[in-house]
Amino acid sequence: MSEQISGQRLFWRFAAPCANYNLTAGKITPTQFDNVMSYSIDDDDPDVDLLKDCFPVAFESLERFIRDKGIDRQQMWSYDTVLACWRLHKGRTTDCAVTETVVESVIDGLVQRVLLKNGKIAFNSYGIKVKADDTTLIHRNVVAAVI
């Protein structure tokens, strides 16, 4: 189920949960962190150069994905290309892997929580329209997309 968002916005949704780690690890500056996280309240498409600087591993993964799949570079930031890349993301650790799972129920609150059929809870930090039996992609316990 393709939403009406850009590939850059989708990339940001998947990568944003890593921003705090990158800041505390000294991989990005506090200014870069503030700038990249401003997209949580800003509807503009994230700046590609900022995404590259703040999430170099994810950016390199996307570049490698399009190269390995023979996808034209002009399609790098299409929603479908970004989604296909992240669906394959296994992460360096289990909690970093993108998982595909089905929603059991939705629990409203300050931040909507999503009870998943695998017994885990994810947070719907981006306000994505999600309901029971939707198939979702989860990254670092955050709902990043409904597929």
Kindly write down the DSSP assignment for every residue of 36-100, as one continuous string. Answer: HHGGGT--SPPPHHHHHHH-HHHHHHHHHHHHHHT--GGGTTSHHHHHHHHHT---SSGGGSEEE
Which tens digit of pLDDT belongs to each residue from 5-57? Answer: 999 999 999 999 999 999 999 999 999 999 999 998 888 899 999 999 999 98
Residue 119 burial (C-beta neighbours within 10 Å; 0-12, 13-18, 19+): exposed
Q: Which CATH class is domain 94-146?
A: mainly beta
Separation between Cα atoms, residue 143 and residue 73, nearest integer Å = 27
Distance (Å, whole) CA 54 – CA 41: 18
φ and ψ at residue 104, rounded to 5 degrees: -90, -50
Q: Which residues are registered as beta bridge partners of 99?
A: 138
Q: How confident is the model at residue 1 (pLDDT cuts 50, 70, 90)?
A: very low
Percent over 70 (pLDDT), the chain: 93
CB 136 within 8 A of CB 130: yes
Task: Enumerate the domain spans of the chain.
Answer: 7-87, 94-146
CB of 140 closer than 8 Å to CB of 18: yes
